[in-house]
Amino acid sequence: MGDVIQVGQVQVRFRLEKEQTGGSLTMFEFRVPPRARVPVPHYHETFDETAYGLEGALTFTIGGQKTELKPGDVAFIPRGVVHGFENLGETDALVLSAITPGILGPEFFREIGEAVNAGGPPDIQRIIAIMLRHGLRPVMPGSQEQKPAANV
């Protein structure tokens, strides 16, 4: 069982790293408290994500469509599709994510955690640089860069 990586209010724990799977996938759990600050909408350039609900409920917006992920529900997020999530409930949400291929690892979350947890207002340019370096492309709400799932 991996160490908990704290990113603001969100906790991330890796279950499988690329070294364990020959680079095929990485897998991690993430816990999101109610109304926690969460990442900006973004998309992944070179990997897909599959999310499986374990506890509570997390509302994902994938390609502009909202879907609630509860225990036993699964959502597939293809590379290139803008997505984000939020916990609108009253209890923590716990989700298991698989990244294929296994490009995204704990290094990303540790770096983001250092930037977000540094104290004071977050350094947005530093956060964007970290995201870009790891293949995540932030998309500001209302941007023309929104890519609906139907176009992927």
In a domain, residue 24? The reply is yes
In a domain, residue 147? The reply is no
Beta-ladder partners of 68: 59
> Which residue range is the domain that position 105 belongs to?
4-139
Tens of pLDDT, residues 104-151: 999 999 999 999 999 888 899 999 999 999 999 999 766 545 444 333
Tens of pLDDT, residues 10-49: 999 999 999 999 999 999 999 999 999 888 899 999 999 9
What pLDDT is attached to residue 45?
Answer: 95
Report which secondary-structure segment, H or E, holds 62.
strand 58-62
Percent helix, percent strand, percent coil in the chain, to nearest 5: 20, 40, 45
In a domain, residue 152? The reply is no
In a domain, residue 97? The reply is yes
CATH number of domain containing 40: 2.60.120.10
In a domain, residue 38? The reply is yes
Tens of pLDDT, residues 55-105: 999 999 999 999 999 999 999 999 999 999 999 999 999 999 999 999 999
In a domain, residue 144? The reply is no
In a domain, residue 98? The reply is yes
What pLDDT is attached to residue 142?
Answer: 63
57: nearest Cα among 89, 35, 29? 89
Q: What is the pTM of this model?
A: 0.89
Q: How many domains does the chain have?
A: 1
